[in-house]
Amino acid sequence: MAAGALVAAAMLYGYGVLHPTPAPLTQDDIDHAVLDTLQTKTLPSQAARAYAAVRESVVRVREFESSTGEGDLQTGVGSGVVIVDDGTILTNLHVVAGARRIGVEFADGTESEAKVIGTQPENDLAVLKAATVPDDLPAATLRSTSDLVPGDRVIAVGFPFGIGPSVTSGVISGLRRQYRSPEGKRLLTNLIQFDAAANPGNSGGPLVTMDGAVVGIVTGILNPTNQRVFVGIGFAVPIENAAAAVGMSPF
């Protein structure tokens, strides 16, 4: 028995030598590991992560002259964002107003005809419903604007001049702004002002926070000239107004 006890003690001692108990991590160890990762790895930017979160929910909205679908002439292009995974899309009313036929193109290349199922003229909003949707179509995450403050970083995603999807980055410049359309026909109120570059074709696209949530629908740019190019002031309809256009509250 004594010999057995000695053998067992020796085995335990040998195991302890071969498998020492690891020293507990200190805060200095953690800080060093994080610093090493930051110095040796290229991490995606906040804007890149925000775009990745919303990319598959952004659509190209196309306006056609003919309603037949044969030899159609495209007369306009804008942007939209999927807010319900059954193909319900938010865009601007001025993007689709007067269109004989509306087409949408999803992120995976799927194309579909779409119908206007609701409008909110006082906020320049239209709700579209696509006839065909891709499998596993994701809806964008919507977020309240109640905690937004000037200086918060945002991205605008859309199809400026039909090119895209394109991403621009900036900050919220102001809240509760007013904007009158270039034709002077409609005064929009309670708008988000931002400085992420936007141009014709961005209309209807999402304004997105750094956590990948949609807080507004891009609706217009302020320009003192007739060139229709961005000079640093864009406007978006808060998502609360946009959600009301489809009779839903996202919060």
Identified catalytic residue from 112, 166, 169, 203: 203
Identified catalytic residue from 57, 79, 94, 112: 94
Tokens of 221: 């740019």
Longest CA pairwise span in the chain (Å)? 102
Q: Is there a catalytic annotation at residue 32?
A: no
Q: Is there a catalytic annotation at residue 94?
A: yes
Whole-Å CA distances, 33 to 21, 28, 101: 20, 9, 57
Identified catalytic residue from 57, 112, 124, 169: 124
How far is Cα of residue 153 from the mean position of the Cα atoms in its chain?
13
Contact 92, 191 (CB under 8 A): no
Distance CA 138, CA 53 (A): 10
Q: Count of alpha carbons within 13 Å of 106, Cβ hemisphere only?
A: 27
* Ramachandran angles phi, psi of 31, nearest 5°: -60, -40
Q: Is there a catalytic annotation at residue 124?
A: yes
Distance CA 218, CA 237 (A): 6
Contact 72, 101 (CB under 8 A): yes
CA nearest 61: which of 201, 163, 156? 201
* Catalytically active residues, by annotation: 94, 124, 203
